[in-house]
Structure 1
């Protein structure tokens, strides 16, 4: 082979990684795969926001979604991307950030232009439960049939559904998993993928483009100068996620988790792993290994087991979303009947603004808008109120959570809302909470309600 032919062969090997919910370099099978197949070629590392805007989902999704991502969730995402970018720069590449704006094409068109201009030969993605994101991947594969796709597992404990069929309830799922796979007490830790020490470079024609719109928009939208509206310890990115993981397991908090996890507003009373797990800044395998170590070295009790229990809930809802796909967004869910609720714009506005007649609900909603976070107990209370006291279409509540939660996860969010609305994975049907009783149990002195101004109602 001539030198020119060899150079052409090298130039034709262009790999593109399309990050989604895998924003890390450690234990990232997708990034590792890309680093291996691009050894003698070039590498494009891309995060594209709003890709799903290209889809026509008005019948079952767009009708009740909210356009703008909440400020706290957006900030957490930008912090995560900034951290990922810093890690990629250390390894010889950088993150290309595609986003929708008035001066440019939509992100799907931008991505298509990038693929064509750079003559991409391989695309690496992580497996996802996000139905709409998967539809975008399908469109790309149809549009570029000659590109080779590589799909890796980065978000779950299992590469595929670990059982022959997904059980109808979480309890059945948990029992089968614990019978067939004793991950919590297995002899060896869960295997962790090595972190690439270096990455192939960008194509030459992009390395010298200081005006590249990917980079300029990335810099303008980093959001670092904006005042934080998140709890002081909620900072996005792999480094912050790992720091929190080791700080948490370096404390006594795991040994009391089961008794404190329903606290409405205390940083140490629940694990707070969910935000970093949701966007993939933190690996679930890394979390499980650290839990196993805590049980070996410190203590194994009901509380440490309950952390594993919650990881299994996350796993269940992931495969729930994969199994039911677009039914995750349907009014009747996976059930055979629709709930007896409807849309009332005035009641919806009261719920969102924290001006209902229920102080505990108002406090939780004010906390969500301000911080992008709400405790697990709070989420159950405000969702129960939304569905049962206010009689609203559950999908609008789920979409509002999607807009604002820093730990938004498609399967857990929509699956839990279906669960509470009685159209999901719950053999007992609707779950309704007595708000007065719950207030007395979880905020008996009214401290949480006062802190988040739950008693404040706007006049009609």
Structure 2
């Protein structure tokens, strides 16, 4: 008997950057509309590969996700799967194998075979992901879509238009929506106690299950654990959140945040925020509690300040869409840079003449992480000292950063290249001065082998 004949709806959740069960409006919505139906919980890897005209892959694509970022994603999906199993369902993992159909085709086949009636997704600033959603909607106009907010503090841009600079944005938000000092905490969506089951005929389709997909990769391309303190998944994100706010670190954040390598010197929330393992609402509520119970100072305010930067770049990406990937950005002129393959290779491999840059790049390849200060220095070197096309730097970060998200990454690169939201134009850092300030004894450079190798 078909699902329609049985008058039973089939809801599909397409996870993207919302890999959690707590404070997840999309999962909650799906649980509500599938009470008497069936539920498919799907993560589709590389779904945007179907787009032949992907704006930021015309030339500067990358071949594969970096080891550390891939490991962090796998840990996040494994944690999500474990949570979904506890709630009576499980994660279906679509990815392209050696002989498999492309992921977009797999997803469409699943939708058709299971006669999906509803699709639930989280709002995203990812221009290419939204293009894929539009393709699916056009192919199945009879399916009802439900789009929820899971990754931002606001359901929609809270201002009439996006200001041209972050400072203007911050001032308007703090005037009209001072969430840090609001009377009540941010509302948190409840976690569903149970979830509707899979369709009956899915229980034998082991090729879709997350565990089966991983076991098929065993010994082939599953990455080994990188040398990093980041561990993916909602459980690890919440543990880190508790550990951070149970310490004194928030009270000194503003003075320590530019450190190049110390784990406790910055919040390190970015990885879990990027793929949605942690809710920004939960983080903000913990920050508010810390200010009430412990101390409110410039450092705790600066954590809020950085959350607003994240918010700004999200709405920046929503506003400018494909311009996020244009060489000239949102500016009216193109930067005077180009692609020189030999210099690009030096930058990637940490073999430039700048030890601080080399150390940061070696750290990135090994751990998938680089400090905010480090990112500014290597991007400044990339654009100014090496004179390279900023888009290749942004794409390399996309490949390797465990905390990659499209809006913050590409927005920040535009900012530093002088084609984005910075009213001052290009920002060039004096690398010698920065080295003396942030690594005066050369400890970071030695640890990450930043000194150029002498030729024989």
TM-score when scaled to structure 2?
Answer: 0.97
* Residue pair 1:381, 1:435 contacting (<8 A) in 2 also: yes
Q: How does 1:118-157 map to 2 (within 5 A)?
A: 118-157=114-153
Describe the superposition over 1:13-40 as per-residue Cα deviations: whole angstroms up to 9, x where unpaired: 1000000000000000000000000000
In structure 2, the partner of 1:437 is 433
Confirm or deny that 1:410 pairs with 2:403: no
Q: Report the secondary structure of 2:145's partner residue.
A: strand
Shift of 1:225: 7.7
Q: In structure 1, which of residues 213, 228, 239 is the aligned counterpart of residue 235 of structure 2? A: 239
**Alpha carbons 2:313, 2:408 under 8 Å: kept:** yes
C-alpha deviation, 1:217, in angstroms? 1.6
**Do the aligned residues in 1 keep the contact of 2:337 with 2:387 (CA within 8 Å)?**
yes
Counting only pairs closer than 5 Å after superposition, residues 350-365 of structure 1 correspond to structure 2 as 350-365=346-361
* Alignment-derived partner of residue 423 in structure 2: 427
Are 2:326 and 1:330 equivalent residues in the alignment?
A: yes
Q: Secondary structure at the match of 1:149?
A: strand
Q: CA deviation at 1:101?
A: 1.6
Contact (CA 8 Å) 2:353, 2:452: kept in 1 or not?
Answer: no
Taking the TM superposition and a 5 Å limit, the aligned residue runs for 1:267-346 are 267-346=263-342
Cα separation, 2, equivalents of 1:258 and 1:161 = 27
* Farther off after superposition, 203-212 or 274-283: 203-212
Secondary structure at the aligned position of 1:230 is classed as: coil
Contact 1:126 1:152 in 2 (8 A): yes
- Change in CA separation of 1:189 and 1:378 when aligned onto 2, cut-off 3 Å: same
After TM superposition, where is structure 1 displaced by more than 6 Å over at least 4 residues in a row?
4-7, 222-225
Let me know the Cα RMSD of the aligned residues.
Answer: 1.7
Match of 1:228 in 2: 225
Aligned residue among 29, 37, 40 for 1:33: 29
2:77 alignment partner, one of 69, 81, 94: 81
The CA distance in 2 between the partners of 1:148 and 1:92, in whole Å, is: 24
Count of matched residue pairs = 455
Matched, 1:199 2:195: yes
Aligned to 1:389: 385
Deviations 1:67-119 (A, max 9, x none): 20000000000000000000000000000000012211000000000000000
Deviations along 1:151-197, whole A, 9 cap, x unmatched? 00000000000100000000000000000001001111000000001
Matching of residue 17 in structure 1 with residue 21 in structure 2: no
Q: Distance in 2 between matches of 1:359 and 1:7?
A: 64
The Cα shift of 1:229 comes to: 1.1
Structure 2 unaligned spans of 5+ = none
State the Cα deviation string for residues 21-63 of structure 1 (Å, max 9, x = none).
0000000000000000000000000000111000022565331
- Deviation at residue 215 of structure 1 after TM alignment: 5.0
Q: Name the SS of the counterpart of 2:42 in structure 1.
A: strand
How does the TM-score come out when normalised to structure 1? 0.96
